[in-house]
Amino acid sequence: MASSQRSAPRPSWVWSLVLWWVGFAGITGVLVGQTDVSVNNYSWGTKTRDGLGKYYFGREIAHYMTHQGAPWLERPERVNEEKPDLVLKALALKPGQIVADIGCGTGYFAWRFAEAVGPTGKVYGVDIQPEMLVLLEQAMAVRGLRNVIGVLGTPEDPKLPEPVDLAIMIDVYHECSHPAETIAAICRNLKPGGRLVLIEYRGEDSGVPIKALHKMTEAQVKKEMAGQPLEFVQTVRSLPWQHLMIFRKKD
């Protein structure tokens, strides 16, 4: 409710201080923004319905799906749309390896990775939403898996507790609000020769029934990885709607 009394006039020196601070803050904000763009290739532009209005190498970053959309991650159709068996075949995981499932959600793939690396291996299920980690824990308990560890990351850093053999992002990278920082943090936590795998719906294919901002072209992914300490290995094209792109940490 608005007050019926008016505030007493402020002395002129107060207004001078306020104006100075506003000006200083504005200049600082501009400088920070310029640094952010020049260092990390970010820019701000037109905001579309499904995006943030924040661009990276000319690509508008998409909104991430909240935990309220979790049932979509477990939809029965996903088996045929994404062929998890073919993903596992392409990754060729070995017992004892350590995997980071970045943006793990409900653990749709995490439990598969856990079975592949066996009880001597580990899977770190990383998400920035605590609610997703609760769902992950519940799902792993139902399956009796004890080698999946939930990790609460941030938009800038997955917060991996130790170096990993494989970091994988499935239908996730295009939603990272800080892709440069996220990938740099992942690279720091890859073992020598460790792999980063990005699985994204094919942006080149108009027949893939996914919103445009939630797809990526192979060329765009390579462009965004070029400044990171990674070397491109191969693109696996056996999935129905996605490409599976493998990068390896440079020596």
Range with lowest mean pLDDT among 25-39, 122-136, 174-188:
25-39
Sign, Cα dihedral of 228, 229, 233, 238: negative
Mean pLDDT computed over 69-79: 95
Nearest to 117 by CA among 150, 148, 138: 148
> What is the dihedral sign for C-alpha 234, 215, 189, 74?
negative
Helices (H), 97-159: 110-117, 130-143
pLDDT in tens, 53-67: 999 999 999 999 999
Per-residue pLDDT band at 251 (split at 50, 70, 90): confident
pLDDT of residue 8 exceeding 50, the answer is no
Containing 225, the helix (H) or strand (E) segment is helix 218-225
Residue identified by tokens 């007493």 is 8
Examine the pLDDT at 232 and tell me if it is beyond 50: yes
% helix, strand, coil for the chain, step of 5: 40, 25, 35
* Stretch 88-109: mean pLDDT: 98
pTM of the model: 0.85
On average, the pLDDT of the chain sits at 88
CATH 3.20.20.60, applies to 62-249? no
Structural domain boundaries of the chain? 12-40, 62-249
Tokens matching residue 228: 């990171």
CA 153 – CA 171 distance, rounded (Å) = 17
Q: Is the pLDDT of residue 166 over 80?
A: yes
